Amino acid sequence: MKKSSLIITTIALASFAFGGAEAQAVVSSTHTSDNKINFTSGEGVVSPPVNPINPDNPDVPNPVDPTDPDNPGTGQDGPLSIDYVSNIKFGEHKITGKNIAYKAKNANPFVQVTDLRGASDGWSLSAKMSEFKSGNKVLRGATLAFKDGVVKAGSSSNISVAPTKSDILFDNTESKTVMNAKDKGGRGTWLTVWSGTDQANEAIQLNVVAGTPEANTEYTSSITWELADAPK
């Protein structure tokens, strides 16, 4: 019994001795080091189009819009740029005696904007459409609707405030707001994507009035997209 007590006592004293040595350690010297990084605006930077379905996916399909295969993007450089806009296709249809809403063939058409100014000033994207024409022939009364768009960041880790989007009805040549980034928002890359069924996308529809189409005629309209360096 005495032997056992002696061993236990020795261990306890050793532990106390080592613990006491650790407790007496003091800091003898300190110094600080600096870590620095400097940024300038993305002047001259070209931001390529991202995957509209999953912007974080680096394997961007080629082309990004299979219905619009010859569209590589605008090639505009920064620091504030429109990077990509889909050309909307409606295909070929037989003339009917009714008003018809034709659905876009594109499954995931989108518009992409990048702000690399680093100034948090905000921005606004607007658009206006010309009449559908073929030479001097006009598709009178035609309107084009973009609805149910979804705003996506080019990177899911982007902490900037997202721009807001608007449904659009092109019914004349007036400019319509598409996206609007308030002050301190919209930094980095942002998309509005109008996703729907491939070959029958209800998010984008061309409304044609009965009695206006002419046979064997392809009508074309242009949308002019305008990016301003301040919000609306």
Q: Are 160 and 188 in contact (CB under 8 A)?
A: yes
Task: Compute CA distances 57 → 49, 51, 52, 98, 156, whole Å.
Answer: 12, 7, 9, 43, 10
Task: Compute CA distances 223 → 29, 98, 226, whole Å.
Answer: 68, 26, 10
Q: What pLDDT does 61 receive? A: 66
For residues 66 and 58, the model is more confident at 66
Domains and CATH numbers, the chain: 80-228 (2.60.40)
pLDDT in tens, 120-146: 899 999 999 999 999 999 999 999 999
pLDDT in tens, 16-56: 444 555 568 999 999 999 999 998 899 999 999 999 999 98
Q: Residue 167: pLDDT above 80?
A: yes
Mean pLDDT of 5-16: 39
Q: What pLDDT does 2 receive? A: 35
Q: What pLDDT does 184 receive? A: 87
Q: Are 119 and 80 in contact (CB under 8 A)?
A: no
Helix H or strand E encompassing 57: none
What single-letter DSSP state applies at residue 59? -
In this prediction, residue 4 has a pLDDT band, given cuts at 50, 70 and 90, of very low
Q: What pLDDT does 228 receive? A: 98
What single-letter DSSP state applies at residue 16? H
User: Average model confidence (pLDDT) for the chain?
Assistant: 90
Residues 6+ away with beta carbon under 8 Å from 146? 167, 168, 169, 170, 178, 194, 203, 204
Q: Are 191 and 112 in contact (CB under 8 A)?
A: yes
d(CA 87, CA 75): 15
Q: What letter represents residue 218's amino acid?
A: E
Strand partners, 175: none
Q: What pLDDT does 22 receive? A: 56
Of 133, 139, 145, residue with least CA distance to 210? 139
Q: Are 28 and 34 in contact (CB under 8 A)?
A: no
